[in-house]
Amino acid sequence: MRITNGIMINNNLSNINKNKVSLDKVMTQIETTKKIQRPSEDPIIAVRALRLRSTYNAIEQYKDRNVEDADSWMTTTAEALGGINDVLENIVYYCNQGVNEYQTVEEYEAIISSLKSFKEAVYEDGNADYGDRTIFTGYKTDSTLTFEQNDATVSYNITENHSFDDIDTFKRLVGVSEEDINEYETTYENSSTGLPYTGANITNEAIHVMRLGYDDIDNSAVSVVIDPKGTATTYTAEIISSAQLGEQTYANIDPDKVYLVRETGELVFGNNVYNMANSKDFTVNYTKTGFDKGELKPEHYFDCVKTEQAGTDENGTPKTKVTQYTAKDQKIEYTVSFNQTITVNVQGKDVLTHDIGRDIDEMIDRIRDMQETTSKLNKVKEKIALTTDKTELSRLNSLKVVLEVEQKYAQDNVTDVFSQGIEKFKEHQQNVTVVNSDLAARMKRLSMIQDRLEQQALTVEELKSKNEDTNLTAAAVEYKAMNNVYTASLSVSAKVIQQTLLDFL
């Protein structure tokens, strides 16, 4: 083949250019530390890089944000649960004190005020928040667990679901009325009780009672449905006020009726109803208007319909807003890893039940009963000291005997309620412990997930680097080699194209 200088120059240029291309590629790889600069250089590396970056991004989101947030939330919850547990512990301690019979009135007064403040404190703990979001209220993080202010207008129609076990059997004392102490009556023996008749009658009968979530229930229809999912027997509770109790007495309970004591929110089951309800579920529907500060909001616990004032319309007529709530599990779940979620919250209904407050109410009520009895007895004792009339003196003396029995009953009831209280609050504490250990287990799981995520992040980062990053050592060696080739080709070309035949003629 005839080779002209032109061909040689062409080939030289083309080869030098090829060397430059290679050199440039290695240089760029070193300078950018990336194997490829654009997808077309190697579409497979490019797409794999995208995938790995997406994965890495997701891991970072889980690891640095979701897990951290879940952890903060759970830590806050654990602290709040600790607080609740402490309060319950204190209540148990006071119950133990209350069981002791030899307490003075002042001491009981102190117990009452302590119990009241514990009730407040325990519910106050339920309003704990994390970054302005309440933690025990399920999804309703913008609403506190309890009412923050007295609200006289808001009204709830509440449906409570209960099981048979929620019905307690308590002794209720119906004592001597204040009027009996003042009135004159002829005394004689009461054949049935063996006590001298004083015109007063006392009973301390066991009754079947369940406290609803709230007291001060509206005087409107209250329905009790026993076995709502089965035969569904509906009772309409007979509403009585505690003022009526003196005449009607717990002793006169119609066995086929259900009563509601409005002021205390106690549902009293007649014997027959109680037996019928045995081991069955039942629901209670009632309405309550006006709530006090510190009371639990029904929407966190029960199916309910809330009716509240919501401004006025254009005519100035107040408008009402009706909201229907359905009680359901409100687990706040965070995604903490690929296809893995973790429940971060503890729901107030699992730890801070109405029972805690109502059990305290029960104790306070029984102490109050006893205080009343004691004050009646003291009154009679005062009268005896001042009276000279013999008949009256004998009446008062026999009244004193009756009241002493009454006081004994009242004292027994107090002791009973406190010893039951120990049980109950230990149970409440147990609830908290169970929830707390569940939370601890979740936190443990979270920390394991976090470890795994750290590991995954490392692995993916390594894969990512292997896939797209330049191996600097290899690249540097290659650069050196390329550079040698390039300079060699330059020096050879320079020599070859310089010379012509003329140089030698």
11 binds another protein (CB under 8 A): yes
Site string for another protein, 329-358 (x = CB under 8 A): -x-xxxx-----------------------
Q: Which two three-digit tokens encode residue 4?
A: 């002209």
Between residues 5 and 447, which has the closer beta carbon with respect to another protein? 5
Burial class (CB in 10 A: 0-12, 13-18, 19+), 280: middle
Site string for another protein, 252-271 (x = CB under 8 A): --------------------
Stretch that binds another protein, among 34-42, 89-97, 108-116, 227-235 (CB under 8 A): 34-42
CB of 326 to another protein, least distance (A): 7
326 binds another protein (CB under 8 A): yes
Site string for another protein, 135-154 (x = CB under 8 A): --xxxxxxx-----------
**DSSP β-bridge partners for residue 10:** none
Give the C-alpha separation, 281 to 163, whole Å: 4
105 binds another protein (CB under 8 A): no
Question: What are the two backbone dihedrals, phi and then psi, of residue 221, each rounded to the nearest 5 degrees?
Answer: -50, 130
DSSP string covering 410-428, please? HHHHHHHHHHHHHHHHHHH
10 binds another protein (CB under 8 A): yes
CB of 468 to another protein, least distance (A): 7
Q: Which two three-digit tokens encode residue 178?
A: 């204040």
40 binds another protein (CB under 8 A): yes
**Rounded to 5 degrees, what angle do the CA atoms 183, 184, 190 make?**
105
CB of 344 to another protein, least distance (A): 8
CB of 11 to another protein, least distance (A): 7
User: Footprint of another protein on residues 400-419 (CB under 8 A)?
Assistant: none
Give the C-alpha separation, 85 to 439, whole Å: 14
133 binds another protein (CB under 8 A): yes
Q: How far is CA 435 from the centre of its chain?
A: 10
Residues 304 and 322 sit within 8 Å (Cβ to Cβ): no
Stretch that binds another protein, among 55-63, 100-108, 198-206, 429-437 (CB under 8 A): 55-63
Assign 173 to helix, strand or coil.
Answer: strand
155 binds another protein (CB under 8 A): no
Between residues 140 and 383, which has the closer beta carbon with respect to another protein? 140
Q: Which two three-digit tokens encode residue 233?
A: 């027997």
Give the C-alpha separation, 413 to 408, whole Å: 9
38 binds another protein (CB under 8 A): yes
386 binds another protein (CB under 8 A): no
Between residues 40 and 182, which has the closer beta carbon with respect to another protein? 40
Binder to another protein among 252, 320, 324, 484 (CB under 8 A)? 324
Give the C-alpha separation, 311 to 46, whole Å: 60
CB of 282 to another protein, least distance (A): 25
236 binds another protein (CB under 8 A): no
Stretch that binds another protein, among 9-17, 235-243, 373-381, 390-398 (CB under 8 A): 9-17
Give the C-alpha separation, 99 to 116, whole Å: 18
Count of positions on this chain that bind another protein (CB under 8 A): 58
Beta-carbon contacts of 283 under 8 Å, excluding residues fewer than 6 positions away, are 159, 160, 161, 162, 224, 225, 228
Q: Which two three-digit tokens encode residue 51?
A: 């995938």
Best CA proximity match to 468, nearest among 58, 53, 57, 61: 53
Widest Cα–Cα separation across the chain: 169
**DSSP β-bridge partners for residue 320:** 309
Between residues 47 and 221, which has the closer beta carbon with respect to another protein? 47
Between residues 10 and 491, which has the closer beta carbon with respect to another protein? 10
Binder to another protein among 27, 30, 33, 69 (CB under 8 A)? 69
Give the C-alpha separation, 171 to 131, whole Å: 47
List residues binding another protein (CB under 8 A): 1-7, 10-11, 14, 32, 34, 36-43, 46-47, 49-51, 53-54, 57-58, 61, 65-66, 69, 131, 133, 137-143, 299, 323-326, 328, 330, 332-335, 468, 500-502, 505
